[in-house]
Structure 1
Amino acid sequence: MKSKNSEEYSIFSKSATYQIRVAGDVKIDWADNIRDLQIIKEEDSDFGTVSVLTGQVEDQVALLGILSTLCDYHLVLLNLRILL
């Protein structure tokens, strides 16, 4: 029998579509783990250029790799959403 906690968190071990918003300009060739994400640039009155990365991510480990890459490039995370 699965515990309630394991059922609640099982979504994080599955593939899902995420939207990640960061302040700054993300270059597609920075890292392999962001190549499959669609990147759209927006202008924001508070943050200037904002990059919106959207796409399918294999699991939470892959998501953490993407976030780590963005952090390595000193980009400020503005928002992270899972799109169900």
Structure 2
Amino acid sequence: MHTISPKSSTFQVEESSNQRLTPIIWDYVRKMVVEYLWYCYGVEIGSTAESRLSDLIAKSVTSAYALRARCLRCRQLLAHAT
């Protein structure tokens, strides 16, 4: 089985509440991506791809948290407007 070791034990998400993904979730996401690439395409992850994959996951999670925060703010504004 191919795994990627994390660069740090926790992953800081750029959000005002400073939420953190636990190492368990971080490991799960990485392992799922690596297993998918290996199983479907026979791709083995090297150190350069590992770094790029970590960056891509970081950006995706950060974007998801930012979108969630905006949606919650829109709901609050709509609730006050009605």
TM-score, length-scaled by structure 1? 0.30
User: Greater RCO between the two (CA within 8 Å, min separation 6)?
Assistant: 1
Q: Over alpha carbons, which structure has the higher Rg?
A: 2
If each structure's strand is expressed as a fraction of its own residues, which one has the higher value?
Answer: 1
